[in-house]
Every structure is written in structure tokens, then in C-alpha cells.
A and B are shown apart, each in its own frame.
Chain A
């Protein structure tokens, strides 16, 4: 099936006259009900996963670094098993994070969905590091994110990445089964002169993954 969202992007009123026992049955009544059915499906976003990263406030100093990614490579930050039903068109990952760089650069997120027969679908998305300017101040440069917490005015941002599961009624991956969903992230700065990537501090705060069924 496909969701023709251009036609059914909005819910329609079902007129009171539809319910009158003597009302002539009009195609418009059926069409309105159908549109509402599609519309409800599109609006019915479902939570798939949420992942919290405990804040460093109140935790021992020694553990703070455990929640920071400082790596050129993709680093898995969240992982779950979840049932994905039929008829979805997208799953969306939203991440709240802090990232710190004196050089600028990018924050990257990647979502990978793998079904029970090992079919895999993945997508990546890059966003600018929230604070790309120099962060030096009268107290000198701030330390890395590892020893910070929210109260320390970390440069925070929200970014995300989405996965298109179905397009024009054609599934990109077999749905209706158990999936493993992994979310990866890191932050880096590409040094044009030396042509190397340099890792930057990245700390996830909250990652959520949810379903969407969108108009095509």
C-alpha cells in the first residue's frame, strides 16, 4: 500500500449529516473517512527507543569521561532491539548533544537498522558543531567536555538522522519483524592543510528514535 500524502495530508471533518439515518450516502463521506484513516496513520508516530546518558553532576570525576566521544571514527552511542511494523516510511533519530571544538567542524550521526534476516539500511547526517568559534575567555580555554556538565554552558545542539524505509509503496527493507537499531556519532574537524580528520569532543545527552509514516 502507499500513502498518498498529497491528497490526505490533512484530516477532514466528518459532517454530522453522515450520521443521520436517512442521509443519502455520498462518496464524499467515504473519502473523508479514508483521508482521516491515512492522516491518522501519518500522525501516529511511535516511540521506538530512548537512551539517556547520565549527567556528570553527582557522579565521580573518574567516570565523567565515559560519556564523551573523542574519536575520528563512528562510535556507537545507542543500541536497541525493537519490533518495526508494516507500513512505516521512516524512522527518525533525534539526538541532544554537546560538542566542543576550537576549530569548527562537524557533528555526525548515523542510524543503522538491521532486521532478523540481516538486511541492513543506514543513513548518516552531518551538522555543524554548535560552537565553532574560539571558546577562549578571560579564564583561558575551557577544558574538554569530559569534565563539564550542563551547568558549565556547554555548546549544545540537537541533530538527527532519519532512515527511509519505504518509498512510493516500495519497501527498502523487509518490515514486520524484530530489528536492531544502532545509533553512532562522533565529531571531527577536517584539517585541510594536513588533510587529516581531527577528533573533537562530543557528548550525547539524550537520543530518541521514533517511527513516522509520511506523505510521499
Chain B
């Protein structure tokens, strides 16, 4: 919900101790505070370098930041950080060049966004500030790196960068909602009602089974994928890792096999399904790492031997203790 702004005179009666307060009064104060914030845009930097170039009323110019002598690519001349507040909507970047002739360009980069402004002596751009506008949604918020590059694009005349400005634009309608990440707005992360992280500011999706991407407009799409089964038609074998827990492997070659990972107590619950999709029994279908034991109802003492899967049958193995697999089926 947008935050309304209003600049208005407030009833002095509100200031009297004990006077009644109505909801409109508090709303007026909130709107006033929002107005004050929106109408105090940050002027991040507005830097000029002074030099008197001549007579009494001559315009100041710069000695310090000069374009290349000829058109030969751009040069980064300034690098600094600015703090873009989360409510910021747009940012103006401007530069003023003094030109003896020719043409040049100034490229501003703020965070993830870049824009270039051109300067032409013939078009009367000398000594005139020319601006570009950035959307805060494109630059990003928080501390953002700014760079300024200058490039002479035509001619051999002197061109100086004599001033530059990065300034937020006023927000005069209503303050937009801030983004959550990286700012003071936070949320609690819970798992089935139990707090995991209080006042979280970032969600981090880990692993190949879950991914997040930007859907634009400040919306993130989260995809959870189920693990596709592996079909192994060869005889070289499939080696599984604990990160692949839940994996189904279908052996379509009677000489195929699966090698299980070595497991520790931290891996309890890791589980795989291995199927023999052939018309022949496979004596070495499931293989351990050499020291981990297989257990079932008949083998309570455990064994390290390869586990057989009969034709057109399947077995499920899961880790129930360190170095221990329970075999079902």
C-alpha cells in the first residue's frame, strides 16, 4: 500500500494536552511525515571544479578532468558510492562540459544501470548541464557504485568535464512501498509455525531442486522441481551422492549397477530407489562404498556384499545409521 503524502496546516487544538484526538489527526501527521520525506530528495553529489577562465563575469571551468585528445574510446574518470533509499523512484544524473569544439559523451553508471548523454559543441551544449534519468528499480537500492566515463567522439578540441550531479527526484504523490531485501522492512521465516529466522531480510534457495528468478515488477518466481529418474542403460554404473537423495534409478541393462555414497550419521534419511527393468536378475545391482553395510530382515548383522535385484523388481535403500543402509524389497 502506498504511503499518502499531504502538506497541510494542523489544528493548534491538537497540541493542547488532554484534547481529544481523532483518527484523522494521526493520519494527518503520518501524511505530513511522508510529505517531508518525499520532498527532501537526496542530492548525493553535485561537484564542480572551479577555474576562472577570463574576465570579470566569465564562467568557471575545469582544469582537472579533460577528455582524450582524440576519439579513442572512453575513460572512467570518477568512481564513488551512493545510497539509494528503498522508496526512491527515480534519480537524475547530470553533467556539464566546457567545450572548445567537437563532440563527446558522458556515461553514467549507477548500480545495475547505465546511461549515456552526448555533448556537441555545434548544438550549443558547452557549459550546459545535460541530464539522464534513472529508475531506482533499474539501479537497485542500498549502496550502489557509480562510475562516470567520458569519451571524445569527434574532433580534437579541448573538452572538460566541469561538473556532475547525482540527485534523487522528489516523490510528490505518495511514497511507494520499500523493497524488503536489504532494508529495514523484515519478515519472520517459519517452518510449520516454528520460527526459523526472525526479522529475516533475505531468502536463499540452495540446491538444484529449488530455484528462484525475477518475474519483473518486483516479483520473484520460485520453482520447486521433483527429481527426474535416471535411466541407466549402460554397464559403467551410476554413482549417487547424498545430495541426490530421493533419486530413482532404472537399470535397463542387466549388467548395470548403482554405487551408493558413503554415509555418516548426518546422512540419515538419504534414500534411493533402484529398479531392475530387465528380464534378467542382476546380482550386483546395488553396490556400497566397500565399508558401508546393507541390512534387511534376514541380514541383521549387516553385510558389505553387492545387493541383487531380481528381474522386473526394485529395491529401496535408505540410510538409517552411520555406514548403514536398510534394504527394502
Q: Which residue numbers of A lie inside 8 Å of B, CB to CB?
A: 1-2, 7, 25-31, 33-34, 37-38, 40-41, 44, 46-54, 63, 66-69, 71-83, 85-87, 176, 204, 207
How far apart sit A2 and B10, CA to CA, in the bound complex (Å)? 10
Q: B residues touching A (Cβ–Cβ < 8 Å)? A: 7-10, 13-21, 25-26, 29, 32-33, 35-36, 39-43, 45-53, 56-60, 63-64, 92, 94, 96, 129, 163, 165, 167, 169-170, 172
Are A83 and B92 in contact (CB-based, < 8 A)?
yes
CB pair A54 B36 closer than 8 Å: no
Judging by beta carbons under 8 Å apart, are A34 and B10 in contact?
yes
B26-A80 in contact (CB<8A): no
Is the Cβ of A75 less than 8 Å from the Cβ of B52? Answer: yes
Quick check: A80 and B51 within 8 Å, CB to CB? no
Q: Which residues of A contact B33 (CB under 8 A)?
A: 33, 37, 40
B-side contacts of A66, CB under 8 Å: 51-53, 63
Check B16–A27 contact: CB distance below 8 A: yes
- Flag if B50 contacts A48 (CB, 8 Å): no
Say whether A80 contacts B48, CB under 8 Å: yes
Q: Is the CB of B39 within 8 A of A78?
A: no
Task: Give the A-B contact count at a CB cut-off of 8 A.
Answer: 150
A25 contact set on B, CB distance < 8 A: 21, 26
Which A-chain residue is minimally distant from B92 (CB atoms)?
A83
Tell me how far the C-beta of A38 lies from the nearest C-beta in chain B, rounded to whole angstroms.
8
A contact residues around B15 at 8 Å (CB)? 7, 27, 31, 34
B50 and A52 form a contact (CB under 8 A): yes
Residues of chain A lying within 8 A (CB to CB) of residue B36: 37-38, 40-41, 44, 87
A46 touches B92 (CB 8 A): no
- Other than the given A25-B26, A30-B14, A31-B15, 11 more pairs (CB < 8 A) read A1-B7, A26-B17, A27-B17, A27-B21, A40-B36, A53-B51, A79-B163, A81-B163, A86-B7, A86-B172, A87-B39
B14 CB contact (under 8 Å) in A2, A34, A52, A85: A34
CB-CB < 8 A to B50: which residues of A? 51-53, 67, 77-78, 204, 207
* Residues A83 and B170 in contact in the complex (CB < 8 Å), given A7-B15, A33-B29, A78-B60: yes
Q: Is the CB of A41 within 8 A of B52?
A: no
Inter-chain contacts of A7 with B (CB < 8 A): 15
Task: Choose one: B45, B59, B92, B170; the contact of A85 (CB below 8 Å).
Answer: B170
In the complex, residue of chain B having the shortest beta-carbon distance to the beta carbon of A176:
B170
Min CB distance A137 to B, Å, is: 29
Rounded to whole Å, the gap between the CB of B39 and the closest CB of chain A is 5
Q: Give 9 A-B contacts (CB < 8 Å), ordered by A residue.
A: A29-B21, A30-B25, A41-B40, A46-B43, A48-B46, A54-B64, A76-B52, A77-B50, A80-B165
CB distance from A120 to the nearest CB of B (A): 15
Report yes or no: A51 in contact with B49, Cβ–Cβ below 8 A. Answer: yes
Q: Which of A78, A83, A207 has the most CB of B within 10 A?
A: A83
B58 contact from A76, A78, A207, Cβ within 8 A: A76
Q: Which of B41, B42, B52 contacts A77 (CB 8 A)?
A: B52
Assess A48 versus B43: contact at CB under 8 Å? Given A31-B14, A76-B57: yes
Interface pair B47/A50, CB less than 8 Å apart: yes
B contact residues around A30 at 8 Å (CB) = 14, 21, 25-26, 29
Contact A37 B29, beta carbon cutoff 8 Å: yes
Report how far A78 CA is from B52 CA in the complex, Å: 9
Q: A30-B26, A86-B39 are in contact. Are A50 and B16 (CB under 8 A)?
A: no
Nearest CB of chain B from residue A127's CB, rounded to whole Å: 19
Q: Which of B19, B46, B57, B163 contacts A75 (CB 8 A)?
A: B57
User: Which 7 pairs, one residue from A and one from B, show the smallest C-beta to C-beta distance?
Assistant: A81-B129, A73-B56, A1-B7, A27-B19, A49-B46, A53-B50, A37-B33
| Distance, CA A38 to CA B32, complexed state (A) | 9
CB distance from B58 to the nearest CB of A (A): 7
Q: Which of B35, B40, B47, B58 has the most CB of A within 10 A?
A: B40
What residues on A are CB-neighbors of B19 within 8 Å? 27
Known A-B contacts A1-B9, A30-B29, A77-B50; the reply to A82 vs B170 at CB < 8 A is no
B59 and A76 within 8 A (CB)? yes
Chain A residues near B35: list those with CB within 8 A.
Answer: 87
| Residues in B whose Cβ lies below 8 Å from that of A204 | 50
Closest to B57 in A: A76
Q: Which residues of B contact A85 (CB under 8 A)?
A: 39-41, 170
